[in-house]
Every structure is written in structure tokens, then in C-alpha cells.
Amino acid sequence: MSSKDLSIIIVDDLQFSRIVVKTALKKAGYNGVRMADSATEALNMIEQKPADVVLADWMMPEMDGLELTQLIRQRDEEKGTYTAVILFTAHDGVEYLVKAFDHGVDDYLCKPPNPHELAARVNAAARVAALQNDLLETSRQLQQTIQNLEKMALVDELTGAVNQTFLLKNLKSHLLEASTRRGGVCLAIIKLRELGAIKAAHGEFITNEILISQHRRLRRAVRPTDTVARLDDNNFGIIMHHTKTKNYKPSAIERILNTINNRPYKTTAGNLAMSGCIGVHYYSGDEAIISADEMLKKAGEKLETVCGDETLNIAY
């Protein structure tokens, strides 16, 4: 995507700051630049026309940059898109950088930004957004393929995820390939701790809304080639295949947990906070091959262990 094609929104309650940033971007060849004097106005602009990159001041009245980022991420989740976010701040220090990234910010610049650095960071953020949106489109295409399997009774009607039958068939193939080529297969089973209580308090409709959102979150947290399946009322399974065992990293499981825990689930009863627990079993191709049913059992046993202990979130 060329700089002329980029849609950029600058959000700052200070007019002078907005103009300085816009002028620097215009000189760098970015023409599709809009300005907003508040986070609320920026969100309205995004609804009218999606943005590739949002540049926002961290400290703003009414709603700060971190809160704006959370709402942008919520919208991205609902729309199936990705918007890159860069925050400006007068703060300096690692703690602010970490805080920004923990809230879903893509990049961070100290004020006032250097014009050349600003243009380079916007270009990098735009590439990230384009890559993420390409992956989401691939995921949508894969989802369409999965939907075509409904006639074969391999898809969960509520969430659109594949079901346990599909997962076991897929897992069997991955295990055989890993055993033959000395690769690796990871099976993670995920459960929401509070779902039973929420069902008792709010009923099945709200529970179904959460399960649909859960599938979307899990799908976005993994690679397009990974399998996400709904196993039963409150259990989802994920298969991750690695051509080399060294490519497996526990951080991939932690990312799934963060995807569940970081933001409340938006429902018609309001935003409901949830926490996940995950049981993980990893098969290395240099081990004696096991059956798909046995691997599912091992991951399920680890899930029961970790979900029964509120001090733990993941059992490997």
C-alpha cells in the first residue's frame, strides 16, 4: 500500500500538536490524514471510514490514548479488522513503553516527534496493519471453507468452529506427520472459569454471546493454519503443528491466555470479565506415537488440574 492510499487519523486535544503532526506527514507524502480533537470524534471518524493508522496523544481529557486503544481493539474484534495505533507522550521510560504495549498499542513516540522518525514509524505501523488484515482475510477464507463442512457435521452450529470430531481427525493426521518427519504437535484445551456462574445469572443467550466471542478471540490469537475447535459447552481445543519441535514456544499459549483475560466480553447484558485456564499437551515426533484420543485425554487431565487451582492458569 502506498503512502497516498493510507487512511490516518491524528487525535490530540491540542490543535497546535495536531497541525504539527499533520504537516510532517503531508511533507512525507501522506495525504489521507484526518484530525480529531477527542477520542470520541476519532471513533466516529473510524465508523465513517476505517483507518489504517491512528496516532493519538496519551494524555487527553474525557478519554486517554490507552482507553481509545482498547475501544479500537474492541471494534477491530467485532469487525474482523486491524488498526495500527501509535501513542504520543511526554513520558519517557521503560515502564511507560511496557504499559502501552500491554494495552495493545503498536508503537510509542515521545513528544515532540522527529518528523523523519514519525514518517518511518507510520510506515512501519501501516505494514503491520496490512499484514494483520491479510492474515484476517486468510482466516475468513478458511472460515468459509469450514462453513462448507457443515453438511458433513463437522462444524459447531453456534460458534462456527469445527467440532471435536473434526479436531480428532485433524489431530490424528498431525500426529502421524510429526512422527514421520520428527515435527511436533501441541494440543491446548481452553476453558472459561466463570461461564457456569454467568449462565446461572444471565441465561443461555448471554452465554452463547460469550462463546461466539470466545471462538473469535481464539481464532485471532493463533496462526491461520492452526485448528480451533469447540469440544463441548465450555471447552475449546487448539491444534498447533510445528515442522520442527524447536519452533514450539510456550509464549504462544500465554498469548492465548492474554487474549481471553485482557478485555471483558461485550454482551447485551454489559461487559463481562472472564478468565481462562488452559491444559496443554505437546507431542514430539521423536517420541513413540500416541493416538489422538490419548492426546486429548492428557490435555483434558491437565485442564482439570489447572482449573481446580485458582492460583494457576496454564498446565503444560
- Residue 59, pLDDT above cutoff 80: yes
Distance CA 163, CA 236 (A): 9
Q: To the nearest whole percent, how much of the chain has pLDDT over 90?
A: 69
Distance CA 190, CA 99 (A): 26
Distance CA 97, CA 205 (A): 39
The answer, as to whether pTM is greater than 0.85, is no
- Residue 2, pLDDT above cutoff 80: no
Query: In the prediction, which pLDDT does 3 show?
Result: 59
Report which of 28, 21, 38, 39 is spatially closest to residue 6, judged by C-alpha positions: 28
Least confident range from 80-94, 175-189, 223-237: namely: 80-94
The domains of the chain are located at 3-138, 152-315
Report which of 265, 266, 282 is spatially closest to residue 274, judged by C-alpha positions: 265
Q: How confident is the model at residue 277 (pLDDT cuts 50, 70, 90)?
A: very high
Distance CA 292, CA 160 (A): 22
Query: In the prediction, which pLDDT does 152 show?
Result: 63
Average pLDDT over residues 27-54: 93
Classify burial at 292, counting beta carbons within 10 Å of its beta carbon; exposed 0-12, middle 13-18, buried 19 or more.
buried
Three-state secondary-structure class, residue 79? helix
- Residue 89, pLDDT above cutoff 80: yes
Q: Does the domain spanning 152-315 belong to CATH 3.40.470.10?
A: no
Q: To the nearest whole percent, how much of the chain has pLDDT over 70?
A: 97
Per-residue model confidence as pLDDT tens digits over 157-214: 899 999 999 999 999 999 999 999 989 999 999 999 999 999 999 999 999 999 999 9
Query: In the prediction, which pLDDT does 207 show?
Result: 97
Per-residue model confidence as pLDDT tens digits over 107-132: 989 888 899 999 999 999 999 999 99
- Residue 148, pLDDT above cutoff 80: no
State which amino acid sits at residue 293.
D
The answer to whether 239 and 173 are in contact (CB under 8 A) is no
Q: Does the domain spanning 3-138 belong to CATH 3.10.20.30?
A: no
User: Got the DSSP string for 114-135?
Assistant: PHHHHHHHHHHHHHHHHHHHHH
Strands 265-267 and 270-272: antiparallel
Q: Cα 158 to chain center, whole Å?
A: 20
CA torsion 130-136-139-143 (nearest 10°) is -140
Beta strands across the sheet bearing 8-11: 33-36, 8-11, 53-57, 84-89, 107-110
Residue whose C-alpha cell is 473510524? 46
